[in-house]
Amino acid sequence: MLPSAESNNQAGTIPSEIGVLMQLVSLKMEQGKISGTIPSSIMNLSKLVVLDLDYQRLAGTIPDSIYNLRDLAELDLNGNQLTGTISTKIGNLNTLYFIQLQDNMLTGSLPTELGLLTDLCKCSC
């Protein structure tokens, strides 16, 4: 069985130590009370395929470290309080087929690099 973490109704913050879970392939924390920012140590989760942190209370920007997760297929940060823009580095996620970023406070236009994601079948930004 592949290592994964799934939870809802959790409270607190995502600890920076999450980066030590280098074999993790799926991180789902849906509809809870997680606050704070997404730690940059998430880049250590190089095998991560699913990152689902929807409807939390996450704030700050989408860390550039997310765009280094080369195996990421699903990215759901919907329903948080994230600010800033979607980086042009999103084009690095060439295995991404599902992305949801709506219901945040993101600004700016969608980067043209989204067009590089040829496997993308659902995009809600």
Query: pLDDT per residue over 49-83, tens digit each?
Result: 999 999 999 999 999 999 999 999 999 999 999 99
The 3-state DSSP class for residue 3 equals: coil
- The DSSP string of 46-64 is TT--EEE-TTSEEEEEPPG
User: pTM to 2 decimals?
Assistant: 0.88
Q: Which CATH number belongs to the domain containing residue 47 in this structure? A: 3.80.10.10
Which tokens belong to 10?
């959790």
Neighbouring CB atoms inside 10 A of 123's CB total: 15
Q: Read off the pLDDT of residues 1-58 as tens digits, 9 standing for 90 and up.
A: 455 555 555 678 999 999 999 999 999 988 889 999 999 999 999 999 999 999 999 9
The per-residue pLDDT of the chain, averaged, comes to 90
| Residue-range definition of the domain harbouring residue 44 | 4-124
For the chain, the domain total comes to: 1
Please name the amino acid found at residue 75. Answer: L
HEC-encoded secondary structure of 82-95: EEECCCHHHHHCCC
The 3-state DSSP class for residue 29 equals: strand
Please name the amino acid found at residue 17. Answer: E
Q: In this structure, what is the dihedral angle of CA atoms 82, 87, 93, 97, given to the nearest 10 degrees?
A: 60
